[in-house]
Amino acid sequence: MNDRRAATLPLVLLAISLCSGCAAGGGGLAPSRFQREFQRYLSLPHQKAFAVAGDREDNYVFGYSYGWRGPELARDDALEQCNIRRRSLGEEAECRIYAVGNEILWQRAGDAEPGSPPP
């Protein structure tokens, strides 16, 4: 296993354990839980990304990654981690990048500014 994967593994296990209890009704995180997890993500070193998939009924899954050599690699890995959880929990919404580094990129239709919790 390369060093980058080894650094990501603890986060993957944490995220899986956090989401595993949310499987009923499509699986996901309530917005307050989402905010707590995103705050945890913000404390991680740069070259990181946070991806999320959710529906209009407040069901969310996410994946995040950090410690990569560049933002593109972090984005790819965060999307991969999110998609693994999305498929395992039956979430139909597609994973999208919520943030790269500490910059929130997510913007819902009708939102004036990025950063509102998904979906």
Tens digits of residue pLDDT in 66-75: 999 999 999 9
Q: What is the pLDDT of residue 18?
A: 40
Q: What is the pLDDT of residue 84?
A: 96
The pTM assigned to this predicted structure is 0.65
Q: Kindly give the interhelix angle for 3-20 and 71-89, rounded to the nearest 10 degrees.
A: 30
CA 65 to chain centre: 8
Q: Taken in order 22, 100, 95, 66, is the CA torsion positive or negative?
A: negative
Q: How many other C-beta atoms lie within 10 A of the C-beta of residue 62?
A: 27
pLDDT, tens digit only, all 119 positions of the chain: 444 544 444 444 344 334 433 322 234 555 567 788 889 999 998 899 999 998 767 778 899 999 999 999 999 999 999 999 999 998 888 999 999 999 999 865 445 444 555 54
Residues 6+ apart with CB under 8 A from 42: 102
